[in-house]
Amino acid sequence: MITTDFLPGSPCWVEVSSPDTDASAAFYRRVFGWKAIEDSPEAAGYLCFQLDEDKVAGLSPLLGEGEHPAWTVFFHDPDVDSTVPAVERLGGTVLFEPFDVLRLGRTAQFFDPQGGRFAVWNPIGFPGVQRADTPGSLCRVELWTPDGNGSEDFYRELFRWSYADSPRSAWNGRYRAVTPAGAGRDRDQGGIVALPPERVDDTKGSAEWNPVFRVADADRALEAVRAGGGQVYTGPEDTPGAGRIAVCADPFGAGFVLSESPQG
C-alpha cells in the first residue's frame, strides 16, 4: 500500500508526458475526475493533477525529440547526487542528470539495466502525492520486466528493497511484492512482474514501470477510458490479493493500470 508517509525508496510521485496536454487533461478528468492546474508561471507548461484539493499526479509536455508518451514513477531519495554513480555501477544509465525543480525538490531520471525508466525525488518544498490508495489516486506501482531476477537485484542494491512471493503471481507472470527498506509487509508498495517469454515481445524487450490507480468501479472507469479515446488491453480480471485489475493506455499510448479493491 502506498501512503503519503514517504520512506526512502518508496514511490512518491508519478507523471505522464503528452504531445497534447489539453487532450490528456480532458482524458484523465473523464476517467478519474482530476483537474489539471499550473501552479506557477515558471512551470513551463507542467501541470499538476488535483483530486479535490490534493495533488495526485503530474502532466508534462514531451521534453525532447524521440520521447514517447509514458508514465514515469518517482521514488523518494534523500541523496539524488549519490544515486547517479550507484545506478551506473549497477548497470543502469542516466537519462537526466540531477537538477533542481524550482524550489520544490531535486530530481534525476534513469534507465535500469532492463530498460525501465524511473526517477528519484529529494523533496525541498513538495514531498509528493497528497492522496494515495483511495479512488482516483495511486495505490501501487509495478515493474513489468523480461528479467525478473536482474530487476530484483538492481533495485535491491539501489534502494535496499525487500521482496516476498505474492498470490498475484498467477496474473501476468511471477509477481514479487516490494517493500521499502526497513518496512513490513503492510507497506507493500507494488511489485516486480517477471513476464513470461510470450509476453516479452509486447514490451519490445524492455522493462516498464506502470502506475496502478485505485477506482471504485472498474467497469465504469473502463467505459470512461474507451469514451475518452484510450485503450483497454486486458480486464477487468479478478486477481488474488488485488481485486479487479485492468491494463489500459491513454489516447497517446501511455500505459497505466486500474485496480478495484476487493472491498469495492
Digit-coded pLDDT (tens) for 85-142: 999 999 999 999 999 998 899 999 999 999 999 999 999 999 999 999 999 999 999 9
Structure confidence at residue 200 as a pLDDT band (50, 70, 90):
low
Determine the pLDDT at residue 162. Answer: 93
Q: How far apart are CA 146 and CA 242, in angstroms?
A: 22
pLDDT in the model for residue 63: 79
Q: How many residues does the chain have?
A: 264
Contact 247, 253 (CB under 8 A): no
Residue 82, C-beta contacts closer than 8 angstroms, at least 6 positions apart: none
Contact criterion met (CB below 8 Å) for 82 and 106: no
Domains assigned to the chain: 11-123 (3.10.180.10), 138-260 (3.10.180.10)
Task: Give per-residue pLDDT as tens, 24-47.
Answer: 999 999 999 999 998 766 677 899
Phi, psi values for residue 171, rounded to 5° = -100, 115
Cβ burial of 16 (10 Å; 0-12, 13-18, 19+) is buried
Average pLDDT, the chain: 90
